[in-house]
Amino acid sequence: MSENENHERSTVSVIGLGQMGTRLAQAFLTAGYATTVWNRSAAKADALVVQGAVRATTLEGAVSASPLVVVCLPDYATVGELLGPVAVRLRGRALVNLTSGTPEDAAGMADWAAGNGAGYLDGAAMSGTRLVGRPEALFVFSGSPDVFATHRTVLASLGHSAHLGADPALAPVYDTALFGMVWGALAGFYHAVALVGSAGVAPAAFAAVATEHMPFVTSLMADHARQIEEGRFPDDDGTVEVHAAAMEHLLDTSRGRGLGTDVPELIGSLLKRAAATGHGSSGIASVVGTITKGERHA
């Protein structure tokens, strides 16, 4: 098939068919959208072609094939190097970049796209590859509200697609913030699995109880967000001092069982610093002040 035949024949083009790009293309195909694909190593498109994708033989052809161009590569430098020579083809199209990077990367790419007459959305896939195409998969986007409004139905085939605002840097800010939050929860979970394991409890048995407990944890988020906005930290969920003491119990118990103490030490040091800077009798959400002010020394 020539690239001319390929011209504007698809709804969406996907450039970069690694682990994530392949799943993105599959989700668009599953939702019934005509999808053109391109990858540096052409063989990675084979399975997608069997599923109905159109293989572009050149990058230029891939960009020209659709009004919506989704790119997913290892980093922004690669995106810039790859798309630079075909930038003229992006004019009048929407570029959606699901490559991971920094807020500065996103701002720079948005400027570059605007300079080439393309609409731009930065984005981040928050739920790994397994859930892509299902409503539980979170995709965050930021940048042109018009581009999001025009293509939101197509982007919704990836999962729950949220537009965070017009600033393209917001997507990587959320990406890194949510990544850190998930790791905070998982680090706590892994420590807990090790601790209950020392008492002979199987990981799956603990996970079942822990999962039941999570709605309580998530319910705290909305409450504590309101407290942080209001700058008032009632002690309904315990004070910083009470939680610091409880964290010492976790530390002692972990030490006593010969476990690593990295996780409780990290949280304990945050609580201790908050107490040392005058928040001991405040509610625990007051630790956000210790973080935002960078109060490092007790």
Ligand X SMILES: NC(=O)c1ccc[n+]([C@@H]2O[C@H](COP(=O)([O-])OP(=O)(O)OC[C@H]3O[C@@H](n4cnc5c(N)ncnc54)[C@H](OP(=O)(O)O)[C@@H]3O)[C@@H](O)[C@H]2O)c1
For residue 19, state whether it binds ligand X (rule: CB under 6 A): yes
**Toward ligand X, which CB reaches closer, 85 or 92?**
85
For residue 84, state whether it binds ligand X (rule: CB under 6 A): no
Site mask for ligand X (CB under 6 A), range 122-161, x = bound: ---x--xx--------------------------------
223: CB partners within 8 A, 6+ apart:
237
User: Which among 72-80, 184-192, 216-224, 255-263 is the span making contact with ligand X, rule CB under 6 A?
Assistant: 72-80
Total residues contacting ligand X by CB under 6 A comes to: 20
For residue 58, state whether it binds ligand X (rule: CB under 6 A): no
3-state secondary structure 149-190: HHHHHHHHHHCEEEECCCCCCHHHHHHHHHHHHHHHHHHHHH
Which member of 39, 97, 142, 290 binds ligand X (CB under 6 A)?
Answer: 39
User: Which among 10-18, 86-94, 185-193, 201-209 is the span making contact with ligand X, rule CB under 6 A?
Assistant: 10-18
Contact yes or no for 21/38 (Cβ under 8 A): no
User: Which among 19-27, 195-203, 208-216, 235-243 is the span making contact with ligand X, rule CB under 6 A?
Assistant: 19-27
Which member of 6, 36, 97, 99 binds ligand X (CB under 6 A)?
Answer: 99
**Toward ligand X, which CB reaches closer, 19 or 211?**
19
**How far is Cα 30 from Cα 131, in angstroms, rounded to an integer?**
13
Q: Report residue 130: phi and psi, to 5°.
A: -60, -40
**Toward ligand X, which CB reaches closer, 81 or 262?**
81
Outline where 84-160 has alpha helix (H).
103-115, 145-155
**How far is Cα 287 from Cα 284, in angstroms, rounded to an integer?**
6
For residue 16, state whether it binds ligand X (rule: CB under 6 A): yes
DSSP code per residue over 60-81:
HHHHHT-SEEEE--S-HHHHHH
Which member of 4, 41, 218, 292 binds ligand X (CB under 6 A)?
Answer: 41
Which member of 7, 9, 32, 40 binds ligand X (CB under 6 A)?
Answer: 40
**How far is Cα 193 from Cα 202, in angstroms, rounded to an integer?**
8
Nearest to 193 by CA among 240, 118, 257: 257
Radius of gyration of the chain (CA): 24
For residue 72, state whether it binds ligand X (rule: CB under 6 A): yes
CB of 96 to ligand X, least distance (A): 13
Nearest to 231 by CA among 283, 162, 170: 283
Residues that bind ligand X (CB under 6 A): 16-21, 39-41, 44, 72-74, 78, 82, 99-100, 125, 128-129
